[in-house]
Structure 1
């Protein structure tokens, strides 16, 4: 649905029609957030989330979340101030980013005037990541209840535009999972403070990505994408979206059809995007393996899946494939294939072994963090 909306948004120029599309997109995003939040809670409750801890610069995380939530603050006329830091922490960067994002989102949502401040303080062997706001504050008798599922303040009408009441519930579960503690204090009509106390990290070496890649022209124009998807609606929406980005799409419903296309085409595709559950004897992973054998090279490959079994997803990742879980946001898909298109267009790519990413070199963590970026409203969120 979000892919269709992304295409529609680019083609419509009538303001009234665009407003309707924007409203529908808002409903789609809210529905996706609810489903994702419920899945997150169920996985955390089941103990299925295993933290991948590493030492990393806290400033990198601050930069990502501030970029994500700045539009939300600007729309409300708030100042979002981020205090720079050189501190490193030891945690799971993806899960910690999700926790901090939820705290920032809440701070902005319940602040009508003033500012939101993001920073940190050293405390011996720990770092306290702090979010301060000048919002309405929280009554003392609600200080514990705010971390319960679906508990909201100042929203008696249960307006989903004001959130779902799951943000702090997820923060609490993530903190337990990561072994971090939560700090909280508040004064009515003066504001609130939320903090995550995290272990200090060891010094890290910053790997330069180089600026040449960012200055390359749009790498998606002319990129040949082999799309293996049996659901007509999903295939059609994805094809239209990829076409709108300048890609040339080769479509197949089954692994067998994909192999026929590979045999018939003179020029090989630049990337394969395959649904995991396909009709016939071969699934998406097996289809990609056969395609690699037919082409005699391992071109970049993405598997899109609705699987909720984390063990199965991890097995797919071990095979060297990037996994996108449904529902897929258009912006995430675009960022992923852009990353691979840039690698293929650089001479260095062809000098390296044809692996899809190098976990030891940090590419995997970079991609995971990129694909977890939360996009907030507006035209950019449509890809």
Structure 2
């Protein structure tokens, strides 16, 4: 996705006998043939003069290759410069175990955080959309904002990014919302900063801090814990 610059990316799976291969195709800038033998080396970056700068230090594919080796999978990459890339993880065994579906009660599918009211504040629109969708799948009633909200409806928890852009901070948003509703609504602060960098802004704010990138399982666990405490 990073090197496709808005072009389509296709992710699919192919069954081959008793194994599955996951394949990813893009229509991005591609990788020149002379780089392909080296792309799994640590700190190697297949960069050509004139290419756009992209984040990264050249460790991603090396980590993928190591994990695949430990798991008994095979990773291959085929690419053509200016045409696109195909990456494949193969040798994944097919599981015979059936995955249990979510329990259905009178036509209603159980959701772990059904009707849990969440105020979500995140200035990155892509992250905002993805997190709102995730919370919705868990059954949450979400109010989402890409900037400091002016007025919000009552809620059970606030989930805010620390940096909201234009000099605004998630800690300020939490204080403002709490003052509007006259209560210390439980809050989660998501940040990529280290402890000392945000401690001066917290000032006994009583928030749960989650370090970015926040794993969905971690977020759901913290939300479930907050819900359990509030019910208690």
| Aligned equivalent of 1:213 | 113
CA RMSD after TM alignment: 3.7
Question: What is the CA–CA distance in structure 1 between the aligned matches of 2:68 and 2:223, rounded to whole Å?
Answer: 33
Residue 124 (structure 1) shift: 0.8
Q: For 1:158 and 1:136, locate their aligned partners in 2 and report how far apart those are by CA, in whole Å.
A: 9
Instruction: Indicate the structure with greater strand content.
Output: 2
| Shift in CA distance, 140/160, structure 1 to aligned 2, threshold 3 Å | closer
Correspondence for 1:201 among 81, 92, 95 = 95
Q: Distance in 1 between matches of 2:44 and 2:6?
A: 23
Distance in 2, matches of 1:190 and 1:158, equals: 14
Native 8 Å contact 1:175 1:181 kept in 2: yes
Matches of 2:85 and 2:222 in 1, distance apart? Answer: 40
Structure 2 equivalent of residue 182 of structure 1: 75
Count, aligned residues: 155
Q: Give, in whole Å, the separation in 1 of the partners of 2:185 and 2:3.
A: 45
Q: Is the 8 A contact 1:136 1:190 kept in 2?
A: yes
1:341 to 219, 226, 231: 226
Task: Compute the displacement of 1:170 (Å).
Answer: 0.9
Q: 1:156 to 1:177 in 2, by over 3 A?
A: farther
Corresponding position of 1:121: 14
- The alpha carbon displacement at 1:111 in A equals 1.9
Q: Secondary structure at the match of 1:162?
A: coil
1:38 aligns with: none
Structure 1 residues 160 and 214 mapped into 2: Cα distance closer, same or farther (>3 Å)? farther
Provide closer, same or farther for how the CA distance between residues 181 and 201 of structure 1 changes in structure 2, counting only shifts above 3 A.
same
Q: Secondary structure at the match of 1:110?
A: coil
Contact 2:102 2:110 in 1 (8 A): no
What is the CA–CA distance in structure 2 between the aligned matches of 1:112 and 1:235, rounded to whole Å?
33
In structure 2, what is the equivalent of residue 14 of structure 1? none
Distance apart, 1:343 and its partner CA: 3.5
- CA–CA distance in structure 1, aligned partners of residues 9 and 223 of structure 2: 33
Q: Distance in 2 between matches of 1:338 and 1:205?
A: 24
Contact 2:20 2:93 in 1 (8 A): yes
The corresponding residue for 1:282 is none
Gaps of 5+ in 2: 104-108, 119-155, 158-183, 189-193
Kept in 2, the 8 Å contact 1:155–1:162? The answer is no
Moved over 4 A (4+): 155-160, 330-336
* Mapped partners of 2:200, 2:28: distance in 1: 41
SS class of match (1:211): coil
Match of 1:162 among 48, 55, 65: 55
**Distance 1:149-1:173 versus aligned 2 partners, 3 A rule:** same
The answer as to 2:212 corresponding to 1:329 is yes
Match in the other structure for 2:122: none
Structure 1 CA distance for aligned equivalents of residues 221 and 62 of structure 2: 30
Tell me, what secondary structure is at the counterpart of 1:164? Answer: coil
C-alpha change, 1:192 and 1:344, in structure 2 (3 Å) is: same
- Between the two structures, name the one with larger relative contact order (CA 8 Å, sep ≥ 6): 1
* Residues 216-265 of structure 1: per-residue CA shift (max 9 Å, x gap): 2243353499xxxxx9837835845x94xxxx46xxxxxxxxxxxxxxxx
**Alpha-carbon offset, residue 120 of structure 1:** 0.6
Check conservation: 2:2, 2:54, Cα contact below 8 A: no
Q: Secondary structure at the match of 1:213?
A: coil
User: Cα offset for 1:188?
Assistant: 2.8
* Counterpart residue number, 2:123: none
